């Protein structure tokens, strides 16, 4: 299918990540803004504005939408909104990233609304460490949410673990073994300098190290990459029902394969997680802009999409301006 979303580096963009809220029911240090950063809820786009933008993006070639936050499941009316997104012509896949706390009750409704994939953020299997990382006693709820997503028949269930030396890197093998008999993809991610206040290079663990630890469990067989499968290198361990993924944005970037854009909860379009360039689509909507003006702003931003992201491990922040809770990862 043809697309108008072709950047100047010949990359076709078919994937849009949309943050529906910057609020969250957890306070993970590598994601949340510092307490000094005040939320401005009036900046968050209304559902009708998001649907308008998604319709425009779909008409331009976007085929996959991932709903993120903050925590998307805490926004009132999210199920009805997803039903409406699933009815947009051209949108072929709706996925969602969540911390899983509300997933146990909502997974069947998400499935019926049209969600075909959920990514669940989970950095530890130890209750005390979970509380330390997230500021909430929610491990049992998240684990129950994972089981509910599987029971609901959501086709793709993935667990995202950000590996941090001295924090949770001792649990890498435990994660692989914990879900070995489940229809789950366990994905290990490198810790990135996304929040300067908490970035500590000594906590960084390269994926080559993580992969070496997993290989001690058996031979890794590489899996074929799924359509819009993202940057993870996916493998299966012999004898395991689950899959294992490795994502290495720091040690081995995957910019040449980038097929995504990001829309913040306030309507700022980012061409890269670490991009300086952006387009204020929310501002255009609030000023009464037309669909043509929105399309022109999207194409202008896409034309500035960088060939390789500009990220320093020591002092770079997403969008150079926005906390991860607003960018949506």
Which CATH number is 242's domain given? 3.20.20.70
Residue 194 to residue 170: CA distance in whole angstroms: 22
| Residue 168 confidence (pLDDT) above 50 | yes
The number of domains in the chain is 1
Domain residues for 182?
15-327
Residue 148 to residue 141: CA distance in whole angstroms: 10
In the structure, what pLDDT confidence band is assigned to residue 195 with cuts at 50, 70 and 90?
Answer: low
Q: How many CB atoms lie within 10 A of CB 314?
A: 10
Q: What pLDDT is recorded for position 322?
A: 58
From residue 324, give the alpha-carbon distance in Å to each of 149, 164, 196, 249.
Answer: 25, 17, 11, 15
Q: What is the mean pLDDT of residues 201-214?
A: 95
* 239-293 per-position pLDDT tens digit: 999 999 999 888 777 677 788 899 999 999 998 876 655 899 999 999 999 999 9
Q: What pLDDT is recorded for position 4?
A: 83
Q: What six digits make up the tokens of 204?
A: 């960084």
The region, left, alpha or beta by phi > 0 then psi within -120 to 50, assigned to residue 135 is: left
| Residue 148 confidence (pLDDT) above 90 | yes
- Asked whether residue 311 is domain-assigned, the answer is yes
- Asked whether residue 214 is domain-assigned, the answer is yes
| Residue 175 confidence (pLDDT) above 90 | yes
- Asked whether residue 74 is domain-assigned, the answer is yes
Residue 133 to residue 147: CA distance in whole angstroms: 22
In this predicted structure, which of 47-51, 99-103, 307-311, 321-325 has the lowest mean pLDDT? Answer: 321-325
245 φ, ψ (degrees, to nearest 5): -120, 150
- Asked whether residue 5 is domain-assigned, the answer is no
Q: What pLDDT is recorded for position 280?
A: 96
Q: Report which of residues 160 and 229 the model is more confident about.
A: 160
* 52-107 per-position pLDDT tens digit: 999 999 999 999 999 999 999 999 999 999 999 999 999 999 999 999 999 999 99
In this predicted structure, which of 9-18, 235-244, 284-293, 299-308 has the lowest mean pLDDT? Answer: 299-308
Q: Report which of residues 250 and 143 the model is more confident about.
A: 143
For the chain, the average pLDDT equals: 88
Q: What pLDDT is recorded for position 306?
A: 78
- Asked whether residue 240 is domain-assigned, the answer is yes
- Asked whether residue 31 is domain-assigned, the answer is yes
Triad 209, 195, 192: Cα angle to 5°: 20
- Asked whether residue 3 is domain-assigned, the answer is no
Q: What pLDDT is recorded for position 1?
A: 42
Residue 282 to residue 302: CA distance in whole angstroms: 16
Q: What pLDDT is recorded for position 261?
A: 93
Max mean pLDDT among 283-292, 295-304, 315-324 falls in 283-292
| Residue 129 confidence (pLDDT) above 60 | yes
- Asked whether residue 227 is domain-assigned, the answer is yes
Residue 284 to residue 319: CA distance in whole angstroms: 19
Q: What pLDDT is recorded for position 315?
A: 45
| Residue 7 confidence (pLDDT) above 50 | yes
Q: What pLDDT is recorded for position 42?
A: 47
| Residue 329 confidence (pLDDT) above 80 | no
| Residue 109 confidence (pLDDT) above 70 | yes
| Residue 204 confidence (pLDDT) above 90 | yes
Cis-peptide, bond into residue 56, ω within 30° of zero: no
The region, left, alpha or beta by phi > 0 then psi within -120 to 50, assigned to residue 121 is: beta
From residue 202, give the alpha-carbon distance in Å to each of 54, 91, 146, 191.
Answer: 40, 41, 31, 10
Q: What six digits make up the tokens of 106?
A: 């909502």
The region, left, alpha or beta by phi > 0 then psi within -120 to 50, assigned to residue 202 is: alpha
Question: SS3 sequence, the chain?
Answer: CCCCCECCCCCECCEEEEECCCCCCCCCCCCCCCCCCCCCHHHCCCHHHHHHHHHHHHHHCCCEEEEECCCHHHCCCHHHHHHHHHCCCCCCEEEEEECCCCHHHHHHHHHHHCEEEEEEECCCCCHHHHHHHHCCCCHHHHHHHHHHHHHCCCCEEEEEEEEECCCCHHHHHHHHHHCCCCCCEEEEEECCCCCCCCCCHHHECCHHHHHHHHHCCCCEEECCCCCCCCCCEEEEECCCCCEEEEECCCCCCCHHHCCEEEECCCCEEECCCCCCCEEEHHHHHHCCCCHHHHHHHHHHHHHCCCCCCCCCCCCCCHHHCCCHHHHCC
Residues above pLDDT 70, as percent of the chain? 84
């Amino acid at each position: 299918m043809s697309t108008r979303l072709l950047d100047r580096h010949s990359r076709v963009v078919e994937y849009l990540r949309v943050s529906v809220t910057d609020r969250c029911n957890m306070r993970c240090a590598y994601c949340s803004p510092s307490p000094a950063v005040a939320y401005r809820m009036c900046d968050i786009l209304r559902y009708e504005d998001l649907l308008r933008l998604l319709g425009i993006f779909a008409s331009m070639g976007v085929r996959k939408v991932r709903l993120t936050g903050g925590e998307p499941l805490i926004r009132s009316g999210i199920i009805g909104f997803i039903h409406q997104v699933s009815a947009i012509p051209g949108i072929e896949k709706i996925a969602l990233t969540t911390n899983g706390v509300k997933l146990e009750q909502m997974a069947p409704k998400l499935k019926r609304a049209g969600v075909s994939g959920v990514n669940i953020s989970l950095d530890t299997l130890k209750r005390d460490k979970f509380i330390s990382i997230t500021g909430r006693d929610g491990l049992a709820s998240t684990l129950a949410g994972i089981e509910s997503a599987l029971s609901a028949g959501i086709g793709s269930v993935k667990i995202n673990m950000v590996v941090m030396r001295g924090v949770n890197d001792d649990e890498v093998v435990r994660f692989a073994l914990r879900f070995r008999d489940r229809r789950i993809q366990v994905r290990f991610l490198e810790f990135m300098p996304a929040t300067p206040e908490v970035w500590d290079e000594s906590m960084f663990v390269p994926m080559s190290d993580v992969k070496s630890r997993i290989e001690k469990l058996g031979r890794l067989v590489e899996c074929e990459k799924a359509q819009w499968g993202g940057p993870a290198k996916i493998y299966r361990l012999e004898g395991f029902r689950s899959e294992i993924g490795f994502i290495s944005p720091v040690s081995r970037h995957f910019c040449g394969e980038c097929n995504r854009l990001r829309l913040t909860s306030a309507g700022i379009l980012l061409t890269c997680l670490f991009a300086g360039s952006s387009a204020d689509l929310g501002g255009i909507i609030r000023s009464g802009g037309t669909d043509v003006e929105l399309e022109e702003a999207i194409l202008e931003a896409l034309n500035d999409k960088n060939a390789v992201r500009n990220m320093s491990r020591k002092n770079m922040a997403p969008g150079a301006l926005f906390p991860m809770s607003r960018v949506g990862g």
